[in-house]
Amino acid sequence: MVSALCVLLVAGCVSFPMPRTYVLGAPLDTSSPATGSTPLNRIQLTSVSVPDYLDSEDILVRQGAHELHTSTTGQWGERLSAGLTHALSADLATHLPGYLVETGPPMDAMAWQLSVKVDSLDSWSDGHCVLSVQWTLRRAIGGAVQLDGQAVLVGKAEASAIAGDAAVISGIAATVAQLADTLAHAVIGSAPSASPPRS
């Protein structure tokens, strides 16, 4: 009886660390002043679509061929769809300095709308990440498709993030940066900044 009571007392004294909270986007760089942009250069990024099983605040890590492990030491600061949208918007703004990249409703009919759909996002504890994605660029209001495409992107964590949650986040962030670079090249190649026909 005494030994059982001691075990309960010791168990009650043990405290587990609170899980760390992670976001994909880097801190806002306030050292560079924002530049203006005309409506013809405006791109509205809609909310990035992700599979239902991924769209939560849980950090999910691949284990084996069919198992997903939920991290007990870290969590997202927002749902994954929101985190991907914010991070991709920020990365696109860096890769497309001649455009104003926004999220939310378009400001006017002359804006271009970019839709991104994640088919799968697999991350491993060593920072290896594979992203399968589709995208479409069209006039924000009643416009035909200007551009669509798909890609499978492979990223890896920075060397400083050896393993665990930090490596997983770093690998995903690197893959999102790759996606932004791919989308930026596609957008520039399709020249959507040219004046689209008015309806």
pLDDT digits (tens, 9 = 90+) for 62-112: 998 889 999 999 999 999 999 999 999 999 999 998 888 988 776 667 788
Q: Is residue 26 part of a domain?
A: no
Mean pLDDT of the chain: 82
Rounded Cα gap, residues 58 and 51, in angstroms: 13
Q: Is residue 58 part of a domain?
A: yes
Instruction: Give, as one character, the DSSP assignment of residue 142.
Output: T
pLDDT at 174: 95
User: For residue 11, what are its two tokens?
Assistant: 């168990």
Q: Is residue 143 part of a domain?
A: yes
Q: Is residue 152 part of a domain?
A: yes
Q: Is residue 171 part of a domain?
A: yes
Domain that holds residue 105: 38-190
Per-residue model confidence as pLDDT tens digits over 165-188: 999 999 999 999 999 999 999 888
- CA distances (Å), 116 to each of 24, 88, 131, 146, 174, in order? 17, 10, 12, 14, 17
Q: Is residue 20 part of a domain?
A: no
Q: CA nearest 79: which of 63, 98, 56?
A: 56
Q: Is residue 30 part of a domain?
A: no
Query: What phi and psi values does residue 74 have, to the nearest 5 degrees?
Result: -150, 160
User: For residue 197, what are its two tokens?
Assistant: 């026909």
pLDDT at 5: 43
- The more confidently predicted of residues 198 and 176 is 176
Q: Is residue 95 part of a domain?
A: yes
pLDDT at 70: 94
Domain harbouring 84, CATH code:
3.40.50.10610
**Number of structural domains the chain divides into:** 1
Instruction: Kindly report the pTM of this predicted structure.
Output: 0.81
